[in-house]
Structures are given as structure tokens and as C-alpha cells.
Structure 1
Amino acid sequence: MAPNLRHLRAFCVVAAHQSISRASEEVFLSQPAITQAIAKMEQALEVDLFTRRSDGVFITDAGKLFLIRAVRAQAFIRTGIGEARRIAQAKNGKGFDNLDQLISGVQVRALIAISKTGNFSLAAKLVGISQPSLYRAARDLERLSGIALFRKSSQGIELTPAAEISARYAKLAFAELRQGYMEIAEYKGIDSGRIVIGTMPLARTYILPTAINRISKARPGVEISVVDGRYEDLLHGLRYSEIDILIGALRSPPPIDDVIEEEVFEDELALIVRANHPLTLKQDITIEELAGYPWITPREGSPTRAMFKEFFAKQGHSLPESLIEASSLILIRGLLMDSDRITILSAHQTRHEQEQGLLVQLPMDLGDTRRPIGLTTRRDWHPTTAQAELVEALRMAGRNLT
């Protein structure tokens, strides 16, 4: 649902003053226009936002719920504008000081669409308007802000650094409103909405399936989407509101200060091989024997890869020569089952295969390989009830592993 930003501001001002006439003076809309704007919002949300009385208009409980999201969304828009001007070092006289009151939802959606596609035509299709209309909206936003937002590149159109930060906060604003729609649905007793979880390999085996099954039983109408990927990609999606929650190995401290981490449990690494691997017949395994077999390791830059390197370095031995980088448990399992390869990963990740007698742990002391596993969320994230329940389900699943 695309928001009308002026209507949204009118709603907030009416709620603050409990008066349409006072709001009219502040947002420069006529009283009939404000009345119509609020009526359209109520129609879209299918709830009454205000109770009308002779002594004023008073916000309803549903209105209070949505007001929190509307205020936060507008704050994100203002922050994005301020950060963009700071990055662009925009001087006084360039652009309008009250830009947050002038920009339209279409202009902001155009900015976001161009950031995703790098092309005016593709962005127009994404927004659902003609290419000339989108181009005009984008250039109007540039003119109003007094900041260069777009530049040509070898691939098409790219955003300037100022536009990138503005687009990020715009995405956060729109995500805030989507959560507002979810909360209104919850208020009406309807399970709806969508929760997006970014996951790294460890959480996929037990924690995430357990938590999803729990929340799906309690809220069958909530759609849950799971996104796999590299930590850097998932973190980017989290910070740009494309992902709600990230679960996996924590970086401790986080690589950037606008996210927070919460440890759910501690994990330890193990050396995993197929059942009947030659090394399973030995009582004492030497570092030379380990290095003589081919290995499967996580990619460079991951915490487990660092521990793998550290293990061989402490033993005073060079790394094995035959390495395959992989993070997919399905691929790792297939490689292990049909070869004498060794891998280093969490024992929790292969718990099902070990219970079935397909994979086993080698009796090798790896030293202290404990690492925190948990949740990463945006510092400014304010979860809906359904999202908060999913977070608690993830915590419970993690506690059951300890």
C-alpha cells in the first residue's frame, strides 16, 4: 500500500491537536481536504482512526496504534533528508527547508525503485507508472532537495551517496508503515502480514524450523519468508528493511552500530566425516593425518574459516591442499557421504545425520571454538506482536539446545 505522505502528516497533526481546523493551518490543506484524507486512510485500513464529537476529534485505540508507526515513518523520512544534505554538504539556499512536507509518496517510491533497478524504465514498471511520470517524479525530487541524486554510469543510472542514504531511510519509513498495517490487522483479530528472516547455515537445521513451526501454529495467517545468503548480503537486507530478523553466528561486536546483537546460545565446532571414514577407526589422530585428507571449509572471511586456519596454525602445520568452499549443508552432506573429506562445522548442524548414523564426529580436541549464535536486528526496530512472538520462539529454540 503506497502512502500519501501529506495525508499521513495531516493525520499526525490532527491527532496532536485534536482539531482539524488547527491541523489545516499547519499542513496547508483545507479542512475538507484533511477530512477527506483521513476518510481515505480509514477506508484503506478499515478502522476508525478518530471519534468525531462537537468539542473536537479524538483518536481511537486503532488510531493510536497506527499513529506510532506514522510518527516513526515521518522521522525516518526527515532523518534521511538530513543525512543526505550532510553527505552532499548542501548549503543554505539549496532546496527547501521543509522538504519532508513537500515530497510525495510517488517521488520517494521512484527514488527507491531507481536504487533497486538502476534504470528509469524498469523503475517505472516497479512503481506502476509510466516512464515519463517516473522520470518527472525523480527530477522533481532532485529539484526540491537541491541535491544531485542521480548520475549516469556504465550500467545505467546510479544513486549518489546522498541519494543512497535517503533511499535507505525511505525504505525504513515504508517498512514502518507496513508494520502499522500488520498491527491494525492484528487489532482486528486477523493474522496477516509477512515476516522476513535472514538465516545463516547453523540456524537452518533446528532453531529456525522449530520457531517457524511454533509461530505458524499460533498464527497460521502470517506469511514467513526465509532468505539464505552471505552475512554481508543479509546484513545489507536487514539495514535496508528488506529483512526483519537475522539469525546465525554473531560478529561480536557488530560491524556497524545501527544493528544490535542478542546471543541465544553458544555453539562449538567439530570435525565431521561420513560413517566408516578411515579416521573413525583410529584412537589418536595426528595433525598430519588430518592434513592428508581433502577438506570442505566455509568461505574466506567467515568466523568458522578463521577458526579452521587457527587450528592448523596452533598445531604448527600448513593448511590442507585440497579445499572446497561450501556453506550449503545439503552440498556438504553430499560431498561427505561420497568421499573421505573432512569438514569443520557446528555439531548442531548435523544432528539429524548423526542420529541417523550417516555422519560422525572425529574425537579431536579443537580447543576453545565456542562462538555466540543469536539474533541481529536493527537498533531502531519496533516489532509487531507477531514479530515479537517469532523472536521469542527463536530464543526458546536456542535455549533448548543448551
Structure 2
Amino acid sequence: MDGVIPNLKHLRACEAVLRTGSFSAAANEVFMSQPAVTQAVAKLEMVLGSVLFDRRPEGVFATDIGRLFVNRVGRMQHYLATGMAEIMRSARRQHGQTAKLHHLVTSVQLRALVAIAEAGNFSLAARSIGISQPSLHRAARDLEHLCAVPLFEKASSGILLTKLAEILVMNTKLALMELDQAYDEIEAWKGGRGGRVAIGSMPLARSAILPAAVNDLLGQAPDTRISIIDGPYRELLFALRHGDIDILIGALRDPVPVDDVVQERLFDDPLAIVARVNHPLMTKDNITLNDLAACAWIVPRRGAPTREYFETMFPDGGPRPQSVIVTGSLVLIRRLLSTSNQLTIISRHQIAQEEKYGELRRLPLALSDTERPIGITTRKGWSPTAIQRDFLSRLTDIGRRANEIW
């Protein structure tokens, strides 16, 4: 939500003008006077610094920027309608009563909702969007009254969202993301900044394909704003579904955990047991399970694919390592490995540079059935901007050449 959120009724009027090709027809559709629609479009053009429509005797025609903008407005309206549809179903309202409930919500109410969701506190939320606490509280309660279902619950830790509010927040953030993308597309069309790419990255991507793809993109579009968020899969998936990131890179899941994302496989990543170059097991011809169990290990948190494989290596009732450090920090893992006799199970791609410079090495032990599909996860129905498509193309190309590069 980096850009300004215009009056939502003005946005609907703008979309109606493009669809009908007439200010008067649009006015009838959005229940505004024709002068009010004309003024609404003029205000949007002033905010955007661009002409959206050519006014001619034979009609009103969208400019290239107008089509870009209104396309995003239409997608924005779709997300708002989807969120409100869940509210309608819960409230069991008659369809005719509130078929266009999303037309009644205001931009202030949407900003308040998202701010409360992110801050978990009315005063912090008000401060984050620059309005008074009474104003934010009023906007939140007006939205709750409009929806006719509870959206907020008081708790000792602050304000919690109800399940319906969480659905509404997700769709609201996706709607506002479409508006941000509209601003980026307009700036790019006018030859301005390169736009934004927000990436969620799991460990393998951070050490392998992501740096190459980012450098490749910045070499051609140095003004691109790139943000990279790391974290466990569950948190990154949540951020992707809520529009906080655009692309999630890392190990794919089978089955896909939710039905509103899509996965694209780039390459298969084999695992290896890794240690320092002079580890005592490096010279052993036949490494046994007892040898491995006698060593100290570094493993990721439960739920990670490598942790699952580690657990299958040492089933209950058999020999198991007595010393196990749990961490997901690659920096720490590499440092611990290089300065001790500890072992870890890790992607071969993740230690490619350390192998190249003689810092770490794979044990002479083949691991069966360890190849994991690595790829890209995006939102279903996502419409990337030009710079995001460019980055995806570079990422896909580098990812599919990963086995040649590393």
C-alpha cells in the first residue's frame, strides 16, 4: 500500500466510463451526476499526473494509461467483491439486499481495517496511517456495522480479528496491491522508476538462484525496487497469499497446501550430508548409521523437508545422535560446520561455493530418494507488471540452468 488510495466511488466511476464510453451512461450506473463523474475522473487524472480519457465529439476513449489503470481498478473491485461475498454468506443476507456491498465501503475503512490487522492495536494502527485514534475507531466500527458481523475482538494482547475479518483483510490487501501495481505500471509507461518486485525466499534460493536473478535484473533495470523476505515456508506462504510478496522461491510442496496458489518446478535438488573438509569420516570407506549417530548434528526446524529426511535416517529404536542443534540460519550452519566435527544434511546447491573454495565437502555417502523439486510459487490469477514478468523470466531461465551453473 505504497500509493494514495483514491475515493473508491471515483474509481468505480472511472471504470464505468471506460466500459460505457460515456460520462452520462457511467453517471447513471454509479448513481452520480454527470458533472460529479467528470470531476471524479479529473481528480484521478490529477493524482496520477496522466490523462485517462480522450474526450471527442464521437465519444470518450481510454488512453493507453487509462486502459492500464482501469484494468487494475477492475481487478481491485473483484477482490473487494470476493471479500464482501464471504461476509454476505455469513450474515445470510438476501442477495438482492447487498449484492454490491463492496460499493458501500470507503477507502478510510479499508485503511483502518488493514492497519488494525497489522498493528493489533487501535492507537498503533491510527499512528501508522496518520489519523486520530477516534477517527480510526469510528471507521472500524462503521465497517463492522456495514458488514453486520463481528470483525474485531478484544484480547489481553490487543485487538484480534475474527475469521471473517481475516478473509476480508486478505482480499483487501490484494485489492490495494492491484492499486499499487497500477501506479507502478503508469510510472513505467511514462519512463519512470522500474517498479517493485517483492520476493519471499527460502534458504536454497538465497544462496543459489536468487542472487544471480537479482543481479541480472538490476543490470538491465537498476531503478527496480526489490525487497526480499526470508523465513519459514508457512510464514512466506501467508505473505504471498496476502499480497505482501509477489513470488515465493524454494522447495515446492506436494500436495499444494492451499488452492489459491500455483507452483512451477524449475529443477530437482538432491540432498547431501556435509561436513568440514578434514572431518574424520571423510577418509572412511564404509560409513555406517552408527558412525553418523555418533556425530553431533545441525538440523532445521520440524516441518522442513531436510528435517523430515533426517528423522527417517534415525528411526525410533535405533541409534540416534545425542547432540542436535536446531537452526535455519545458513550463516550459522556454515560457521559451525567449518569449525567443528558436526554434520548437517543440506542441499548440494547450497554449499556449492564452499565446496568450490575447499571449505566444506560432501561425505562419500550416497543418499537415496532425496531430490526435492525447487521452483516458484505465485498466487492463482496473479497479473504481474512488466518488471515482475521480466524478473520471473530471468529467474526461470537461471533456475532451469541450475544444475549446469552449480
- TM-score, normalised by the number of residues in structure 2: 0.95
Within the candidate set 85, 109, 112, 1:110 is matched to 112
Q: How does 1:181-330 map to 2 (within 5 A)?
A: 181-313=183-315, 317-330=318-331
196-205 or 319-328, larger mean C-alpha shift: 319-328
- Output the CA distance in 1 between the equivalents of 2:248 and 2:101: 33
387-396 or 36-45, larger mean C-alpha shift: 36-45
Following superposition, the deviation at residue 146 of structure 1 comes to 1.6
- Output the CA distance in 2 between the equivalents of 1:236 and 1:319: 34
Following superposition, the deviation at residue 163 of structure 1 comes to 1.2
Structure 2: runs of 5+ lacking an equivalent: none
Residue 158 (1) aligns with residue 146 (2): no
Identity %: 50
Amino acid at match of 2:302: E
- Output the CA distance in 2 between the equivalents of 1:249 and 1:291: 27
- TM-score, normalised by the number of residues in structure 1: 0.96
- Output the CA distance in 2 between the equivalents of 1:109 and 1:224: 24
- Output the CA distance in 2 between the equivalents of 1:318 and 1:31: 80
65-74 or 33-42, larger mean C-alpha shift: 33-42
Residues 276, 360 of structure 2: 8 Å contact kept: yes
The residue aligned with 2:81 is 78
- Output the CA distance in 1 between the equivalents of 2:56 and 2:178: 30
Residues 150, 163 of structure 1: 8 Å contact kept: yes
Residue 398 (1) aligns with residue 399 (2): yes
The residue aligned with 2:13 is 10
- Output the CA distance in 2 between the equivalents of 1:45 and 1:381: 23
Residue 59 (1) aligns with residue 59 (2): no
Residue 354 (1) aligns with residue 355 (2): yes
Amino acid at match of 1:381: W
- Output the CA distance in 1 between the equivalents of 2:95 and 2:251: 48
Partner SS for 2:314 = helix
Cα displacement string for residues 205-244 of structure 1 (whole angstroms, at most 9, x for unaligned residues): 1200000001111111111011010111000000000011
Structure 1: runs of 5+ lacking an equivalent: none
Residues 85, 147 of structure 1: 8 Å contact kept: no
The residue aligned with 1:45 is 48
Residues 297, 305 of structure 1: 8 Å contact kept: yes
Partner SS for 1:300 = coil
The residue aligned with 1:343 is 344
For the aligned residues, what is the CA RMSD? 1.6
359-368 or 152-161, larger mean C-alpha shift: 152-161
Residues 72, 178 of structure 2: 8 Å contact kept: yes
- Output the CA distance in 2 between the equivalents of 1:328 and 1:350: 13
Question: May I ask how many residue pairs the two structures share in their alignment?
Answer: 400
Compared CA separation, residues 160 and 199, structure 1 to 2 (3 A) = same
Following superposition, the deviation at residue 92 of structure 1 comes to 3.6
Q: How does 1:137-148 map to 2 (within 5 A)?
A: 137-148=139-150
